[in-house]
Amino acid sequence: MQTRRIGDVQVGAIGLGGMPMSIEGRPDEQRSIATVHAALEEGVTLIDTADAYHRDAAEVGHNESLIARAVAGYGGDTSDVLIATKGGHLRPGDGSWTLNGSPDYLKQACDASLKRLGVEAIGLYQFHRPDPKVPYAESVGAIRDLLDAGKIRFAGISNADPEQIRLAREILDGRLVSVQNQFSPSFRSSEPELELCAELGITFLPWSPLGGILRAGELGSRFAVFADVAREHGVSPQQVCLAWMLAKSPVVIPIPGSSRPETIRDSAAAVDLKLSAEELARLDAA
C-alpha cells in the first residue's frame, strides 16, 4: 500500500477505525479479528481505537484489548503497525457519552490503555474531545507530560477547532502530529481544520469518512455523484469517497471504521484509484 507520514514514520494511506467492533451491534470476536487481519494483509498499518469504544460499563477498553489480541495473533510482521488510542471520552454504559479532560484522569486513562495494549509506550495517544469544564491548555498539558515521560510516542488531538489546534501545537512544543476530526461527504465543516493541518504539516485523520456506522452503506444513494463516478471506474462509492479525501492533501489519512473483512479490503483499494481533476471538482460540488 502507498504510505503517508505521521510523526516521523510512514503508515498505510488508509487506516482502520476499530469502533464498530466494540459498540452496540458489534460482531463476534472471531469476525473482528478476521477484519483486523484483513486490514494488515492489505497493508493497513494505522489502527485507531479508544478506551471509550465499548458497550457495557464493565468493559472499558474493550476495543483496545481486542485490537491488541488481533495484532498479536497475526502471523505476519507487525513491527510497523502504529496503534492509536484516545482518552478523555467516557461511556457510562447507558448508551450516553460523557467527558473528563482533567489532567489526573487523562494520565490514569493512559496508564490503563498502556496495560490493555501491552506496550511500553503507546504509538499515538490523542485527547479525545474537549471538556468544557477543564481549560483546554490543562488537558493538552497532560498529553505533553505523557510525551515527556515516554509513555506515548506521538501526541494528537481529536474533535478540535483551528484555535485549539494552534494552542495544542504550542503547548506540545511543535510535537503535535495529528488531528482527528469528523469529515465526510455529509460533514464538511472540518475543511478549515484540514486546511490548517496541511499548512502546518500535521496529519489529518478523518473519522467516519464514509458517513458513520449506520450510513456508510448508503453513501452512493445519498450522494449520487459518488455513485456515478464509482460506476465509471467499476468500483464502490465508498472507494471513490476515500480516494477523493486522499486527493485533498498529502496529510490526509482516512480511518474508515469496519467490522467485516470485505469492507476494509474495499476501503484499502482506494489508494490505487486515480480520480481526474474534473471528477474531483464534481465530488467537491456535491
pLDDT at position 93, please?
84
How wide is the angle at C-alpha 257 spanned by C-alphas 256 and 260, nearest 5°? 115
CB-count burial class (<10 Å; 0-12, 13-18, 19+) for 80: middle
Per-residue pLDDT of 185-211, as tens digits, reads 999 999 999 999 999 999 999 999 999
Percent of the chain beyond pLDDT 70? 100
What average pLDDT does range 114-129 have in this prediction? Answer: 98
Give me the sign of the Cα torsion angle 254, 260, 265, 266.
negative
Choose, from 53, 105, 125, 136, the residue flagged as catalytic.
Answer: 53
Of the two residues 95 and 43, the one the predictor is more confident about is 43
Report the predicted TM-score, pTM, of the whole model to 2 decimal places: 0.97
Considering only the C-alpha atoms of the chain, give the largest distance between any 2 of them, rounded to a whole number of Å: 53
**CA 257/CA 264 separation, integer angstroms:** 8
Rounded distance between C-alpha atoms, residue 190 and residue 210, angstroms:
14
pLDDT in tens, 29-79: 999 999 999 999 999 999 999 999 999 999 999 999 999 999 999 999 999
> What pLDDT score does 197 carry?
98
Enter the C-alpha cell of residue 222: 445519498
Q: How many other CB atoms sit within 10 Å of the CB of residue 153?
A: 18
Give residue-wise pLDDT tens across range 137-192.
999 999 999 999 999 999 999 999 999 999 999 999 999 999 999 999 999 999 99
- Confidence at residue 195, expressed as pLDDT on a 0 to 100 scale: 98
- Whether 136 is a known active-site residue: answer no
**Given a cut of 90, is residue 10 above it in pLDDT?**
yes
